[in-house]
Structure 1
């Protein structure tokens, strides 16, 4: 009887293995290109006054959403990591752009792929025997990517990212190779986002196009950053914002042209999405001023503190020196509650329950989200600082309408001219998994059946 039971179990195991193998080999899309336009807002393709003719044509040929909800905080690194894991920051571990440094922020970012705690599309593609590539995709330093140009720079020298980027490129020869065959010699400003220039996005698109033509990776991800930069600098509406949107659209066209030249356009799932929307801001609210006045921050550099807020654009997250210090949490809530209405109009408190619901940093007992054009700072000298002009930021709780980002995709397996009212960035990975057939763990996202033929 034991022998028969063993044979039955072995038979079931073989069937499960076969099913797993079929899943890893089936799917209408042999290739995936995932493009993020940092600060991508839905109106960029829903409103014809923006110059996104290529992306609008993709929407006609494929699928789109009128809005896509980011994670909290709605900032670049957590959202980009959600896009390639299908889970929230609470699970994948990239809670912010910059780690909380209690003695003072140094300028370090969460670049290292080894900080990610869950399966990624990079690793899953490799397990399926597929090649991968990235072009300035966040959190890819040390990532298991065949053709890797990560987003990485010297935080002590923002003026020239080339030495750090080149040293982190995989293979090391690739940095020179793309200059020889895609961009020409790259100066420092050629990969920066300053001086009212768009050349950085142009070069990232040229590099992506070259990799597609030369190596035909099965999964390629590229990050275009110019739109975000100019929205921070000028707010939601300005000449350079609209120029960068049109420039990003041309970058998408460059990538499509390369897919055609490579002969793989018909078998490629092309996704254009973002990481967050944008809100105009007029002031910075500094909650650490309250904590310092109350004696909860005495000398942070010397380690003499009980609580600090870690600011992340439109969000601020309470960090405790003692994770079990409930008395300090109650004191902070009291300080916020005692503020006059003139100050309370600048923020809303995000409870621990809400933080858990959206999968934010699990170590945070409460957070703040900005209201009425307010961002957060780390200053302790004054409570509110007013800007001299309108600016822009993100990081807000995902229930903010203006913080929604966009999503457009076309390719095999998708139903043409399909537009859904809303989705989440969590839902992108399930779509890629479905259309490529790779094996992947359960995600926090859901497959949007309306997108599928």
Structure 2
């Protein structure tokens, strides 16, 4: 009996050792804000490193996001494997938040994160410009924290108090990787700065998980539309910085046990109309100056109805009836009911939502016309049920099959995938639902 017990203990230890040996030592998670699958599927886009990663690993033709398809909820879903209704980050900016109060702090997240899972496993993590990471349990972290919600202010001076470790930028300068100045965070320079910082963190600290968030492709699409030359310039720069990160991984001698994942938060739509639902509420006495019984909070291609009295079903029904009586309303939006919001685990605090039709955005305006016809640049925030709003996914390197394609992937699958690659307990949804992207080695 004792011999049998010893045998099973040895066998169990052997299996655990094999699992750990088969795990990736490093996962580099790269998010391109506004990533569209065309960037790596269409030869016209200047992204040679993305296309090389695609050939070397697994890619998806479509990644279905969460509702609303905007940056902070989506990035939180990437690192939790949960939809907004479970992780608690409903928008970029909380409803009725004072100026400058975005969802900055990790403490706002109500679901386990990859950062915590990595730390609990005794591993280290790093992040550069990843949303909702102020105060996160990330060992090497340059989070997003801006002043007054204005992305053109001095990012560096505002963020510096939240960097961990506090001496990281000094170490970067001392290492020969260059100093970082306020000018480096202006939009023409910011993705180059993000790439430099990411390369330094990997070279200096070699964390098990390094998350990187590039932002200029999003800004360019908002300003100029989906396919403007400025968007191609932004994609080309981001691609070159991904190349720098890949080179750093190789120079560190870690290419053979590193997995690179590239994904995004949403696609983009060219918008030509805006719809102001609060104008309808104001005209019907539900909004009067600073007083209101019901109010929509908009997020690009969506709008969410709050009632002053939580759970006010009577007012919610009144608003729904007003919306349904609008002529041609089906050309502007569809109503997402409370039941549907619950089914997809979207914001549980609202009475209903509007999913705007492709090309229409929602406005918070209370006065003026209900609908405006105007070229508005690129937009997102839509319900994730059509191709243009989908984002992308590529995985290459250790533990990943070569030359495989997925027709469809859920954003919620990414966190469990990373847990499996790192050999740590899974967070998010069921790991049994993961797509077959793993090699047998």
TM-score, normalised with respect to structure 2? 0.92
1:406 is the counterpart of 2:392:
yes
Q: Are the aligned partners of 2:80 and 2:427 in contact in 1 as well (CA < 8 Å)?
A: no
Give 1:25 shift: 4.0
Q: For 1:110 and 1:395, locate their aligned partners in 2 and report how far apart those are by CA, in whole Å.
A: 16
Partner of 1:323: 310
Describe the shift of the 1:182–1:254 C-alpha distance in structure 2 as closer, same or farther (beyond 3 A): farther
Partner of 2:3: none
Partner of 2:182: 188
Partner of 1:70: 65
Give 1:30 shift: 0.8
Give 1:21 shift: 7.2
Partner of 2:237: 247
Match of 1:167 among 161, 175, 178: 161
Q: Deviations over 1:228-266 (max 9, x none)?
A: 000000110101101111111111101100101111111
SS in 1 for 2:129: strand
> What are structure 1's unaligned runs of at least 5 residues?
1-13
Match of 2:81 among 67, 86, 90: 86
Q: Are the aligned partners of 1:317 and 1:367 in contact in 2 as well (CA < 8 Å)?
A: yes
Counterparts in 2 of 1:269-308, with a 5 A limit?
269-300=259-290, 304-308=291-295
Describe the shift of the 1:21–1:415 C-alpha distance in structure 2 as closer, same or farther (beyond 3 A): closer
Q: Deviations over 1:74-109 (max 9, x none)?
A: 0011110111111111111111111001xx762421
Give 1:356 shift: 1.9
Q: Deviations over 1:45-76 (max 9, x none)?
A: 00011011111111111000001011000001
Give 1:372 shift: 4.0
Q: Deviations over 1:173-206 (max 9, x none)?
A: 113333454663434342132xxx2x21111111
Counterparts in 2 of 1:14-413, with a 5 A limit?
25=20, 27-101=22-96, 106-155=99-148, 158-181=152-175, 184-193=178-187, 197=188, 199-300=189-290, 304-341=291-328, 343-384=329-370, 386=372, 389-413=375-399
Greater alpha carbon shift after TM alignment, 223-232 vs 430-439: 430-439
RMSD: 2.3
SS in 2 for 1:84: helix
Partner of 1:429: 415
Q: For 2:182 and 2:13, locate their aligned partners in 1 and report how far apart those are by CA, in whole Å.
A: 51
Q: For 1:66 and 1:116, locate their aligned partners in 2 and report how far apart those are by CA, in whole Å.
A: 29
Describe the shift of the 1:19–1:145 C-alpha distance in structure 2 as closer, same or farther (beyond 3 A): farther
Q: Deviations over 1:13-62 (max 9, x none)?
A: x99x9899779845430101000000000011000110111111111110
SS in 2 for 1:449: coil
Q: For 1:182 and 1:69, locate their aligned partners in 2 and report how far apart those are by CA, in whole Å.
A: 41
**Residues paired across the two proteins, number:** 430
Q: Are the aligned partners of 1:27 and 1:434 in contact in 2 as well (CA < 8 Å)?
A: no
Q: For 2:190 and 2:308, locate their aligned partners in 1 and report how far apart those are by CA, in whole Å.
A: 40
Q: For 2:211 and 2:201, locate their aligned partners in 1 and report how far apart those are by CA, in whole Å.
A: 11
Give 1:442 shift: 4.9
Q: Are the aligned partners of 1:86 and 1:444 in contact in 2 as well (CA < 8 Å)?
A: no
Describe the shift of the 1:163–1:245 C-alpha distance in structure 2 as closer, same or farther (beyond 3 A): same
Give 1:273 shift: 0.6
Describe the shift of the 1:23–1:353 C-alpha distance in structure 2 as closer, same or farther (beyond 3 A): farther
Give 1:293 shift: 1.2
Q: For 1:387 and 1:225, locate their aligned partners in 2 and report how far apart those are by CA, in whole Å.
A: 28
Q: For 1:252 and 1:25, locate their aligned partners in 2 and report how far apart those are by CA, in whole Å.
A: 28
Q: For 2:416 and 2:365, locate their aligned partners in 1 and report how far apart those are by CA, in whole Å.
A: 41
Q: Are the aligned partners of 1:35 and 1:272 in contact in 2 as well (CA < 8 Å)?
A: yes
SS in 2 for 1:438: coil
Q: Are the aligned partners of 1:150 and 1:168 in contact in 2 as well (CA < 8 Å)?
A: yes
TM-score, normalised with respect to structure 1? 0.90
Q: For 1:250 and 1:223, locate their aligned partners in 2 and report how far apart those are by CA, in whole Å.
A: 14
Q: For 2:88 and 2:414, locate their aligned partners in 1 and report how far apart those are by CA, in whole Å.
A: 18
Give 1:379 shift: 0.5
Q: Are the aligned partners of 2:80 and 2:428 in contact in 1 as well (CA < 8 Å)?
A: no
Q: Are the aligned partners of 2:415 and 2:428 in contact in 1 as well (CA < 8 Å)?
A: no
Q: Deviations over 1:286-322 (max 9, x none)?
A: 111111111111233xxx2111111111111111221
